[in-house]
Amino acid sequence: MKRRQFSALAALATTALTGVHAFAQDKPPMRILVGFPPGGSLDKVARLLADKLRVSLNQNVIVENKPGAAGRIALSEVKRAAPDGNTVVLSPGGALVILPWLYNNLGYDPVKDFTPIARATTLDFALTVGPGAPAG
């Protein structure tokens, strides 16, 4: 049984590596940075966006999670990246709108250091209570 599993894994790895090699190009891969851990809603949106961009741009697109500091780590890395359009950040508005009011030194200026490209999604919030609450 173990030999069969190893053979299946080897075949899968060979197929995957062949596909990656065939897709590799002269262009460097585009990077989408996400300032939050994998598995969250922003990460999911980034991965869906990466799949669509990979097809429409005919270029490799990688999602990199840079969690921490409410998204500031990812924003700082995009600020330092070469201005070639290959490194972008998917960020909630709060990191660009609210954080400048909370911190004296963010390490970036949300107006001068970034150029908005597009709204990727909207997220609605709801306030709810249990059925026994007097507000219900």
Q: pLDDT tens string for the chain (136 positions)?
A: 455 554 555 555 555 555 554 455 578 999 999 999 999 999 999 999 999 999 999 999 999 999 999 999 999 999 999 999 999 999 988 889 999 999 988 889 999 999 999 988 887 888 899 988 888 5
Position 19 in a domain: no
- Can you give the residue range of the structural domain that contains 110? 30-114
The answer to whether residues 75 and 108 touch, using CB atoms and an 8 Å cutoff, is: yes
Position 134 in a domain: no
Position 97 in a domain: yes
pLDDT at 16: 53
Tell me the residue length of the chain.
136
Position 51 in a domain: yes
pLDDT at 26: 78
CATH number at residue 53: 3.40.190.150
Q: How far, CA to CA in Å, does 59 sit from each of 22, 26, 68?
A: 12, 9, 28
Pairing mode of beta strands 30-34, 87-90: parallel
